[in-house]
Structure 1
């Protein structure tokens, strides 16, 4: 390759330009470093070493020296909220919003942070107002999710449903609890001083539609609640056939929930004199899907319809197949209620089974223990309740209660 004379000029020029660029970069870096207070770097160091208290103190000092550091204010507010110092976080974000020169994007960010502060502090009215302002912004999906939680906490089901619909209008995201919102709306209509059956029908139709939309068909748990509520509605309207069909659909689709509807099914058949038919149906169901609630319903119905010997025979056989302290407790309770009268076993001598004094003593020994087992429990937080709940009273999660008692779950 031939040597070109102009290289003698080009090479020094290139070296010179590189030297100038390096000097400019160094000066800019030094200038930026001088513009940042030492407290900023100390704060970062404390933050990296997880010394949050000292980091906050350092950042507060920076914020006082340079009020224009908006990102630092956001970081400081987040640190306060994470530490539970909600009042200080609120003040930081309120101060940001009071700045007239704050760009719109950062103003929306500050409003979102302030809304989160209010929500964390339990100031639901202020949180709701702030999230409502965020609906036309890029924070709309998160704001709507927060509004759903707020309306759910306030048990304002119509507004919770509106928020769900608004969220689904923005993004294709299923909200499974929307089914229960409609069911709660139906329940409110039924429990009104003057029950509104038409409104209850409309709410349950909406619940069914929401279940289909969220891909929760007839095999999903909300189907049980919808069917139970439709059965109750049919009973109020005097349509016993429709009530029976809804209850039987639960036995077919969700057999583990049979104990929750056994008494209603027996009462439905009692109205037209076919209670024995229902009892046979439930006994057959129990053979395949035993549960303590179903055991109790069958045992009580056996005592009423067919007498103590039949109930005794059923209970003994059931406890032999599925030993249970709760089942034994129910049996001892019935024994004590019969005042120790001997039971006439078919084809044999009267069977005293257990003297009254011994039955009373045995029940007193196990009853305190069985009281702890005679509960439904939330799978999310462990909250225990005597009554079955669709929404946990402890953590407000939906569908976290199994239809089985604690003893069955621990077995």
Structure 2
């Protein structure tokens, strides 16, 4: 091979070597990113959020701070209570000029959520306004924006945000608007502005006649303004709206019955409901509380005992049963019957849980039998 031919061939060989190195390097880099992404998703699904944050942070650096990865990482920081790191991550991403409007709007929405979690409401509102201006109202911005505006007392802005989102998406948002007006009415009620509250509950029902929260609150306004007879008629008129939530209807009837000093207004409909639906432990609970208050301890015990047979692990029912036994200390037989019920029907869930893989067990393990983490078992908060 001549010297001239070698020098002609050398550039081609060098370029080929560089090309192959670039291909193999990119394949290695891609594989590394895919591994980190798979690891992050897998640990996140397993509930190991600390490990997922570490994997996402490594992926964020490996991918040269890819916006989508940074968005998720910042949100995970917020979920873990690391608000400063979440804010820094989302704020840094929001300043980038290479983002499309939708992604930038999403990042600014998450930044608003960071500020909201930290109690910085004015900054949260500014970030939210920028997000809406960038990408229009979205489900995510409405979710956080509604909370921000409510905390600031800006009810009309919250209402308009939901309304504009409905127009943009072409969906019926009247139920959401009704709940917003109902929430505003509850705030007015707490301020003892009963007339203003009643007007807001009326607006809520004009938007959604089936909003049972507004129906209940309207009845409450009538009771507080000494119009309990009207409250009774109002509730009876709207009984159909409580299908699936009958116990709420009967709970309000109980309060009306107390105001009217007429027990039959509540007891008779409640007994009829229980006879028709014996598994309705919530109505039994309300009836049991009422009977306990009027001194019918045997009747109260029967209703609470039957409710516990249906929902034996409901703490509220046990609390009411303890209150009943305390108030009727002259009858030790109640405690024996309650004790037997607990032994026969109640089987509590696992006591301990692994903080890494969420494995549960009734025994305290020094090493988790599933993921083998050391000293990760903690007592569950029920």
TM-score bucket (shorter structure)? 0.5 to 0.7
State whether residues 231 and 246 of structure 1, in contact with CA within 8 Å, keep that contact through their aligned partners in structure 2.
yes
Unaligned 5+ runs, structure 1: 1-29, 61-71, 212-216, 341-355, 374-411
Structure 1 pair 335/161, CA: closer, same or farther in 2 (3 Å)?
Answer: same
Q: Greater CA radius of gyration, 1 or 2? A: 1
Residues 66-145 of structure 1 mapped to structure 2, 5 A cutoff: 74=67, 77-78=70-71, 80-81=73-74, 84=77, 86=86, 89-90=89-90, 92-97=92-97, 106=99, 108=101, 111-112=104-105, 114-119=107-112, 121=114, 122=117, 125-137=122-134, 139-142=135-138, 145=140
| Secondary structure in structure 1 of the residue aligned to 2:232 | helix
Tell me how far 1:230 sits from its aligned partner.
0.7
1:294 equivalent to 2:287? Answer no
Relative to structure 1, the CA distance from residue 93 to residue 244 in structure 2 (aligned partners, 3 Å threshold; closer, same or farther) is: same
Q: What TM-score, normalized by structure 1, do the two folds share? A: 0.55
| Distance of aligned partners of 1:180 and 1:83 in 2 relative to their CA distance in 1, 3 Å threshold | closer
Could you give the per-residue CA deviations for residues 176-221 of structure 1, whole angstroms, max 9, x where no partner exists? 44332211100100111xx22332123212322332xxxxx53xxx
Distance 1:152 1:201, change over 3 A: same
CA deviation digits over 1:23-82, x for unaligned, max 9?
A: xxxxxxx9xx89x9997665434223446666544543xxxxxxxxxxx85456447547
1:151 maps to which of 146, 151, 154: 146
- Whole-angstrom distance in 1 between the partners of 2:222 and 2:180: 21
Map of 2:32 onto structure 1: 46
Q: SS of 2:171's equivalent?
A: coil
Unaligned runs of 5+ in 2: 1-15, 38-55, 78-84, 350-382
Distance 2:285 2:75 in 1: 49
Contact 2:285 2:303 in 1 (8 A): no
Residue in 2 that maps onto 1:275: 263
Task: Decide whether aligned partners of structure 1 residues 278 and 258 sit closer, same or farther in structure 2, where only a CA change above 3 A counts.
Answer: same
Q: TM-score, normalised by structure 2?
A: 0.58
Q: Distance in 2 between matches of 1:274 and 1:358?
A: 31
The verdict on how the C-alpha distance between 1:44 and 1:131 changes in structure 2, with shifts beyond 3 A counting, is: farther
Query: CA distance change for structure 1 residues 312 and 166 in 2, over 3 Å: closer, same or farther?
Result: same
Of 217, 242, 250, the residue aligned with 1:262 is 250
Instruction: Sort the Cα spacing of 1:128 and 1:42 in 2 relative to 1 into closer, same or farther, 3 A.
Output: farther
CA RMSD of aligned residues (A): 4.6
8 Å CA contact retained: 1:77, 1:92: no
Deviation per residue, 1:325-381 (Å, 9 max, x gap)? 6879867865664454xxxxxxxxxxxxxxx444345546767998x89xxxxxxxx
The separation in 1 between residues aligned to 2:130 and 2:307, in whole angstroms, is 61
Q: Name which structure has the greater RCO, CA cutoff 8 Å, separation 6+.
A: 2
Q: Counterparts of 1:334 and 1:53 in 2: how far apart (Å)?
A: 55
> Aligned partners of 2:23 and 2:325: how far apart in 1?
82
